[in-house]
Structure 1
Amino acid sequence: MKTPLSWITEYVDVPDHVTTDELTARLTLTGLKLEGIASPGAEITGPLVVGRVLTMEPEPQKNGKTINWCTVDVADANGSGEPQGIVCGAHNFAPGDLVVVVLPGGVLPGGFEISARKTYGHVSSGMICSAAELGLGDDHDGIIVLPADAGEPGQDVRPLLGLDEEIIEFEINPDRAYALSLRGIAREVLVSVEGASGFRDPALRETPPANDAGHPVVVEDEAGCPVFVARKITGFDPSAPTPEVIAQRLTAAGMRPISLAVDVTNYVMLETGRPIHGYDADLLQGPIVVRRAREGETLTTLDGTARTLSAEDLVVTDDSGIIGLGGVMGGQTTEMSATTTSVLVEAAHWDATSMFRTGRRHRITSEAGKRNERGVDATICEAAADRVVELLTTYGGGQVDPGVTVVGTPPSMPTITVAGDRAARVSGLDISEERAVAALRAVGCEVSGTGTLEVVPPPWRPDLTDPQDTTEEVIRLVGYDTIPSVLPQAPGGRGLTRTQLLRRRIGRTMAGAGFVEVVTFPFVGDADLDALGLPGDDPRRTTLRLSNPLSSEAPGMTTTLLPALLRTAGRNVGLGATSLAIFEAAPVTVPRASGPAPILPVDRRPTDAELDALDKALPDQPLHLGLVAAGEHEQAGWWGPGRTVTWADAVDAVRTVAGALGLELATRPATTAPWHPGRCAALLLGDVVVGHAGELHPRVCTAFGLPPRSVAAEVDLEVLLQHAVHLRPAPSFSGYPVAKEDVALVVDETVAAADVEAALREGAGELLESIRLFDVYTGEQVGPGKKSLAFALRFRAPDRTLKEGESAAARDAAVRVAGERTGAVQR
Structure 2
Amino acid sequence: MKAPLSWIKEYVEVPADVTTEELTERLTMTGLKLEAIHSPGAEITGPLVVARVLTMEPEPQKNGKTINWCTVDVGDANGTGEPQGIVCGAHNFAPGDLVAVVLPGGVLPGGFAISARKTYGHVSAGMICSAAELGLGEDHDGIIVLPPDAGEPGQDVRPLLGLDEEVIELEVNPDRAYGLSLRGIARDVEVSVAGASGFRDPALRDVPPADDAGWPVVVDDPTGCPVFVARTVSGFDPTAPTPDFIARRITAAGMRPISLAVDITNYVMLETGRPIHGYDADKVQGALRIRRATEGETLTTLDGTRRTLSAEDLVVTDDSGIIGLGGVMGGATTEMSESTTRVLVEAAHWDAVSMFRTGKRHKISSEAGKRNERGVDPTICEAAADRVVELLTTYGGGTADPGHTVVGTPPAIEPVAMAASLPARISGVDIDPEQVVADLEAVGCTVVREGDSLAATPPPWRPDLVDPYDLVEEVVRLRGYDQIPSVLPKAPGGRGLTRPQALRRRVGRTLAGAGWVEVVDFPFVGDADLDALGLDADDPRRSVLRLSNPLSAEAPAMTTTLLPGLLRTAARNVGHGSGSVAIFETASVVLPRDAGPAPILPVDRRPTDAELAELTAALPDQPLHLGLVATGEAAPSGWWGPGRPVDWTDAVGGVRAVADALGLELGTRADALAPWHPGRCAALLLGDVVVGHAGELHPRVCAAFGLPARSVAAEVDLEVLLEHAVHLRPAPSFSTYPVAKEDVALVVPETVPAADVEAALRDGAGPLLESLRLFDVYAGAQVGAGHRSLAFALRFRAPDRTLTEDEIAAARDAAVAAAEERTGAVQRA
1:250 counterpart residue number: 250
Whole-angstrom CA distance in 2 between matches of 1:380 and 1:731: 84
Whole-angstrom CA distance in 2 between matches of 1:731 and 1:151: 102
Contact 1:587–1:621, Cα closer than 8 Å, also in 2: no
Identify which range, 68-77 or 471-480, moves more after superposition: 68-77
Equivalences for residues 288-367 of structure 1 within 5 A:
288-367=288-367
**Taking every aligned residue pair, what percent have the same amino acid on both sides?**
65
1:466 aligns with 2:467: yes
Secondary structure in structure 1 of the residue aligned to 2:404: strand
Equivalences for residues 210-225 of structure 1 within 5 A:
210-225=210-225
* CA-CA distance at 1:190 after TM superposition: 2.3
Equivalences for residues 391-406 of structure 1 within 5 A:
391-406=391-406
Secondary structure in structure 2 of the residue aligned to 1:402: coil
* CA-CA distance at 1:11 after TM superposition: 2.1
Whole-angstrom CA distance in 1 between matches of 2:696 and 2:244: 67
* CA-CA distance at 1:406 after TM superposition: 1.5
Whole-angstrom CA distance in 2 between matches of 1:366 and 1:358: 12
Question: Which digits, 9 at most, give the CA deviation of each residue in 1:1-30, with x for residues without a partner?
Answer: 333333333322333444444433333333
1:498 counterpart residue number: 499
Task: Give unpaired runs (5+ residues) of structure 1.
Answer: 630-645, 733-765, 769-827
Identify which range, 664-673 or 455-464, moves more after superposition: 664-673
Equivalences for residues 393-792 of structure 1 within 5 A:
393-451=393-451, 452-481=453-482, 482-490=484-492, 492=493, 494-501=495-502, 542-544=543-545, 558-559=558-559, 587=588, 589-597=590-598, 614=614, 617-620=617-620, 622=622, 718=719, 722=723
Question: Which digits, 9 at most, give the CA deviation of each residue in 1:373-425, with x for residues without a partner?
Answer: 22211110011111112222333222222222122222221122333333334
Identify which range, 159-168 or 373-382, moves more after superposition: 159-168
- Please give the TM-score of this superposition, normalised by the length of structure 2: 0.70
1:160 aligns with 2:161: yes
Contact 2:559–2:589, Cα closer than 8 Å, also in 1: yes
Question: Which digits, 9 at most, give the CA deviation of each residue in 1:429-487, with x for residues without a partner?
Answer: 43332222112111111111312222211111122223333333333333444155241
Contact 2:2–2:167, Cα closer than 8 Å, also in 1: no
AA aligned to 1:147 is: L
User: Structure 1's 695 and 297: CA in aligned 2 closer, same or farther, altered over 3 A?
Assistant: farther
Contact 2:132–2:140, Cα closer than 8 Å, also in 1: no
AA aligned to 1:308 is: T
* CA-CA distance at 1:78 after TM superposition: 6.4
Whole-angstrom CA distance in 1 between matches of 2:686 and 2:407: 78
- Please give the TM-score of this superposition, normalised by the length of structure 1: 0.70
Whole-angstrom CA distance in 2 between matches of 1:56 and 1:712: 88
Question: Which digits, 9 at most, give the CA deviation of each residue in 1:570-628, with x for residues without a partner?
Answer: xx99xxxx9xx9999765543212222357899999998x5696266332463769999
Contact 1:105–1:115, Cα closer than 8 Å, also in 2: no
User: Structure 1's 307 and 601: CA in aligned 2 closer, same or farther, altered over 3 A?
Assistant: closer
Contact 1:693–1:713, Cα closer than 8 Å, also in 2: yes
User: Structure 1's 228 and 550: CA in aligned 2 closer, same or farther, altered over 3 A?
Assistant: farther
User: Structure 1's 595 and 271: CA in aligned 2 closer, same or farther, altered over 3 A?
Assistant: same
Contact 1:622–1:716, Cα closer than 8 Å, also in 2: no
* CA-CA distance at 1:718 after TM superposition: 4.5
1:68 aligns with 2:70: no
Contact 2:109–2:133, Cα closer than 8 Å, also in 1: no
AA aligned to 1:231 is: R
Contact 1:585–1:623, Cα closer than 8 Å, also in 2: no
* CA-CA distance at 1:223 after TM superposition: 2.5
1:261 counterpart residue number: 261
Question: Which digits, 9 at most, give the CA deviation of each residue in 1:127-179, with x for residues without a partner?
Answer: 55444445444x3541440423167447363873436524322131x222222
User: Structure 1's 596 and 46: CA in aligned 2 closer, same or farther, altered over 3 A?
Assistant: closer
* CA-CA distance at 1:348 after TM superposition: 0.8
Question: Which digits, 9 at most, give the CA deviation of each residue in 1:114-137, with x for residues without a partner?
Answer: 666665556656655444445444
Whole-angstrom CA distance in 2 between matches of 1:584 and 1:265: 63
2:178 counterpart residue number: 178
1:386 counterpart residue number: 386
Identify which range, 4-13 or 452-461, moves more after superposition: 4-13
Whole-angstrom CA distance in 1 between matches of 2:656 and 2:81: 83
Contact 1:565–1:627, Cα closer than 8 Å, also in 2: no
User: Structure 1's 602 and 294: CA in aligned 2 closer, same or farther, altered over 3 A?
Assistant: closer
Whole-angstrom CA distance in 2 between matches of 1:151 and 1:563: 84
Whole-angstrom CA distance in 1 between matches of 2:244 and 2:131: 12
AA aligned to 1:255 is: M
Contact 2:235–2:342, Cα closer than 8 Å, also in 1: yes
Contact 1:294–1:311, Cα closer than 8 Å, also in 2: yes
* CA-CA distance at 1:217 after TM superposition: 1.5
AA aligned to 1:401 is: D
Contact 1:48–1:158, Cα closer than 8 Å, also in 2: no
* CA-CA distance at 1:321 after TM superposition: 1.4
Contact 1:238–1:340, Cα closer than 8 Å, also in 2: yes
Identify which range, 715-724 or 256-265, moves more after superposition: 715-724
Secondary structure in structure 2 of the residue aligned to 1:449: strand
Secondary structure in structure 2 of the residue aligned to 1:471: helix
Secondary structure in structure 2 of the residue aligned to 1:403: coil
Whole-angstrom CA distance in 2 between matches of 1:671 and 1:47: 84
User: Structure 1's 462 and 153: CA in aligned 2 closer, same or farther, altered over 3 A?
Assistant: same
Equivalences for residues 71-150 of structure 1 within 5 A:
71=70, 87-95=87-95, 96-99=98-101, 103=105, 108=110, 127-137=127-137, 139=138, 141-148=140-147, 149=150
Secondary structure in structure 2 of the residue aligned to 1:417: strand
AA aligned to 1:558 is: M
Contact 1:651–1:713, Cα closer than 8 Å, also in 2: yes
* CA-CA distance at 1:285 after TM superposition: 0.9
Contact 1:650–1:712, Cα closer than 8 Å, also in 2: yes
AA aligned to 1:247 is: A
Indicate the structure (1 or 2) with the bigger Cα radius of gyration: 2
1:208 counterpart residue number: 208
User: Structure 1's 183 and 558: CA in aligned 2 closer, same or farther, altered over 3 A?
Assistant: farther
Secondary structure in structure 1 of the residue aligned to 2:262: helix
Question: Which digits, 9 at most, give the CA deviation of each residue in 1:352-381, with x for residues without a partner?
Answer: 233233333333332222222222111100
AA aligned to 1:298 is: T
Whole-angstrom CA distance in 1 between matches of 2:66 and 2:684: 80
Secondary structure in structure 2 of the residue aligned to 1:440: helix
AA aligned to 2:198 is: G
Whole-angstrom CA distance in 2 between matches of 1:72 and 1:658: 97
Which of 40, 43, 48 does residue 50 from structure 1 map onto?
48
2:232 counterpart residue number: 232
Contact 2:562–2:589, Cα closer than 8 Å, also in 1: no
* CA-CA distance at 1:76 after TM superposition: 6.5
* CA-CA distance at 1:276 after TM superposition: 0.7
Whole-angstrom CA distance in 2 between matches of 1:88 and 1:700: 77
Whole-angstrom CA distance in 1 between matches of 2:316 and 2:463: 24
Task: Give unpaired runs (5+ residues) of structure 2.
Answer: 630-645, 734-768, 772-829
Whole-angstrom CA distance in 1 between matches of 2:100 and 2:226: 49
Contact 2:109–2:134, Cα closer than 8 Å, also in 1: no
2:377 counterpart residue number: 377
User: Structure 1's 337 and 427: CA in aligned 2 closer, same or farther, altered over 3 A?
Assistant: same
Whole-angstrom CA distance in 1 between matches of 2:69 and 2:714: 74
1:804 counterpart residue number: none
* CA-CA distance at 1:326 after TM superposition: 1.6
AA aligned to 2:463 is: P
Whole-angstrom CA distance in 1 between matches of 2:690 and 2:104: 76
Contact 1:565–1:583, Cα closer than 8 Å, also in 2: no
1:37 counterpart residue number: 36
Secondary structure in structure 2 of the residue aligned to 1:322: strand
Whole-angstrom CA distance in 2 between matches of 1:166 and 1:493: 54
